[in-house]
């Protein structure tokens, strides 16, 4: 009986899903894990991993055609879980590329946009970012101040975006802006005059992730770079639903990493003549970790089933993101405490996970936002 999968949910996955999971797990263990502690310390995303991520064939995993693998929702879930077992920054890189860049192109893009960008993005020959959040109103995406004005055959884009994952790495930005016809989506290429990405430094969280501010100084974007099917706020919010689904699974990986670390440490660390794991206090704390992780895994698995069946509701995703990230953050903090003084170094991952999760619990919807989404779903009243 595995403490990381106490109810044996992994046995319910298909053979293909298990193969995907083992492939990504091996990549994380052998290639990513040795680089991540230093990447976190130095505040840089390990860019040498990008070609290897592309070669894994996991980018845009749920998209069919255009060089994408066309996997199911559960496969995407275990991909995110294994990546975040390494580091939230690693999962964020793939989540943005797959759910926030490739998904909107596949869903709202023209055939020419799909044919040009999706194969490159799938192979990681091009990197993308998602420009929705702005400095003045992260939880109120309808209050966008970035504007696009049609001038002949081009759109003149002016404004800025904040807290953009992959921002300085990106060859392409999916940018959302106000127009005279409402919110629209645009594909902004890195070499377009007036477009600039500036790295955000001095972070205490998600340090092994590229985070940037984007600036648009009268950027001329051709009409053929507008996403023709993206109209209104519903389009970017649908992208966030896809990404939040991955986060609900990713949190399981961070929690697993912390639990495995604590089990190994407390079994070998002796105080007062016996292993820490042999004491009632430590066993109760570890049992609580297993309880919380098991419930979150059941939640994520059911969410994946609903997604594959086409029955997924955004409120269900909000509940899972809210619950599972909170679960992982509490386990990471508890694990750090059980490690004692050793837990403050990068030799052990729990504090790194805890610091990362302080961002994950906020981005793509704070806990309060997700509570209100669930509240609206069950009461019928909009309290926003």
Query: Which of 231, 259, 284 represents a domain boundary (last residue)?
Result: 231
User: What is the C-alpha to C-alpha distance for residues 6 and 326, in angstroms, rounded to an integer?
Assistant: 19
Q: Has 371 been annotated as catalytic?
A: no
Shared-domain flag, residues 180 and 304: no
Pairing of strands 128-131, 172-179: parallel
- 3 state SS of 276: helix
User: What is the C-alpha to C-alpha distance for residues 316 and 323, in angstroms, rounded to an integer?
Assistant: 11
Residue span of the structural domain in which 171 resides: 128-231
Instruction: Name the active-site residue from 84, 347, 364, 367.
Output: 364
Q: Could you tell me the two tokens for 105?
A: 């192109």
Render each residue's pLDDT in the chain as its tens digit; 384 residues. 899 999 999 999 999 999 999 999 999 999 999 999 999 999 999 999 999 999 999 999 999 999 999 999 999 999 999 999 999 999 999 999 999 999 999 999 999 999 999 999 999 999 999 999 999 877 888 889 999 999 999 999 999 999 999 999 999 999 999 999 999 999 999 999 999 999 999 999 999 999 999 999 999 999 999 999 999 999 999 999 999 999 999 999 999 999 999 999 999 999 899 999 999 999 999 999 999 999 999 999 999 999 999 999 999 999 999 999 999 999 999 999 999 999 999 999 999 999 999 999 999 999 999 999 999 999 999 998
Q: Considering the domain boundaries, does residue 4 fall inside one?
A: no
Shared-domain flag, residues 205 and 273: no
pLDDT of residue 375: 95
Tell me the β-bridge partners of 64. 69
CATH code (residue 173): 2.40.110.10
Q: Could you tell me the two tokens for 186?
A: 């645009």
CATH code (residue 42): 1.10.540.10
pLDDT of residue 173: 98
CA distances from 41 to 35, 202, 248 (A): 10, 11, 26
Number of residues assigned to the chain: 384
Shared-domain flag, residues 151 and 210: yes
Shared-domain flag, residues 319 and 240: yes
pLDDT of residue 141: 84
pLDDT of residue 158: 98
Q: Considering the domain boundaries, does residue 282 fall inside one?
A: yes
Residues 325, 329, 330: CA angle, nearest 5 degrees: 120
CATH code (residue 303): 1.20.140.10
Shared-domain flag, residues 14 and 111: yes
User: What is the C-alpha to C-alpha distance for residues 12 and 257, in angstroms, rounded to an integer?
Assistant: 22
Query: Which of 199, 231, 263 represents a domain boundary (last residue)?
Result: 231
User: What is the C-alpha to C-alpha distance for residues 303 and 324, in angstroms, rounded to an integer?
Assistant: 12
What pTM does this model have?
0.96
Shared-domain flag, residues 217 and 272: no
- 3 state SS of 361: coil
Closest CA to 291 of 269, 268, 323: 323
User: What is the C-alpha to C-alpha distance for residues 217 and 197, in angstroms, rounded to an integer?
Assistant: 12
The residues, ordered by sequence, that sit 6+ positions from 46 with a Cβ below 8 Å of its Cβ are 32, 35, 36, 39, 208
70, 91 Cβ separation under 8 angstroms: no
Shared-domain flag, residues 258 and 335: yes
Shared-domain flag, residues 141 and 24: no
pLDDT of residue 64: 97
């Amino acid at each position: 009986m595995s403490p990381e999968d106490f109810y044996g949910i992994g046995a319910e996955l298909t053979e293909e899903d298990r193969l995907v999971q083992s492939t990504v797990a091996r990549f994380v263990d052998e290639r990513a894990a040795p680089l991540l502690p230093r990447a976190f310390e130095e505040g840089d995303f390990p860019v040498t991993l990008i070609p290897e991520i592309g070669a894994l064939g996991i980018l845009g995993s749920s998209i069919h055609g255009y060089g994408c693998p066309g996997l199911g929702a559960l496969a995407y879930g275990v991909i995110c879980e294994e990546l975040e077992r390494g580091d939230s920054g690693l999962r964020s890189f793939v989540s943005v590329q797959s759910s926030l860049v490739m998904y909107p192109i596949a869903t709202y893009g023209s055939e020419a946009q799909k044919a040009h960008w999706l194969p490159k993005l799938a192979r990681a020959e091009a990197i993308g970012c998602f420009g929705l959040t702005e400095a003045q109103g992260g939880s109120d995406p309808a209050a966008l101040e970035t504007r696009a004005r049609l001038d002949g055959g081009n759109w003149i884009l002016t404004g800025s975006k904040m807290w953009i994952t992959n921002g300085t790495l990106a060859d392409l930005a999916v940018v959302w802006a106000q127009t005279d016809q409402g919110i629209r989506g645009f594909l902004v290429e890195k070499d377009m005059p007036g477009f600039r990405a500036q790295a955000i430094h001095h972070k205490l969280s998600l340090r092994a992730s590229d985070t940037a501010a984007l600036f648009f100084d009268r950027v001329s974007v051709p009409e053929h770079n507008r996403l023709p099917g993206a109209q209104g706020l519903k389009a970017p919010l649908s992208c966030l639903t896809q990404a939040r689904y991955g986060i609900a699974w990713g949190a399981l990986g961070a929690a697993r990493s912390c639990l495995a670390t604590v089990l190994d440490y407390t079994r070998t660390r002796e105080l007062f003549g016996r292993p820490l794991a042999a004491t009632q206090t430590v066993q109760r704390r570890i049992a609580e970790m297993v309880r919380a992780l098991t419930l979150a895994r059941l939640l994520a698995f059911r969410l994946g089933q609903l997604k594959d069946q086409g029955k997924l509701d955004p409120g269900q995703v909000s509940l899972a993101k809210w619950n599972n990230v909170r679960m992982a953050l509490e386990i990471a903090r508890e694990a750090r405490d059980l490690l004692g003084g050793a837990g403050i170094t990068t030799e052990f991952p729990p504090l790194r996970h805890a610091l990362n999760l302080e961002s994950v619990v906020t981005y793509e919807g704070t806990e309060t936002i997700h509570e209100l989404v669930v509240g609206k779903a069950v009461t019928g009243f909009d309290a926003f």
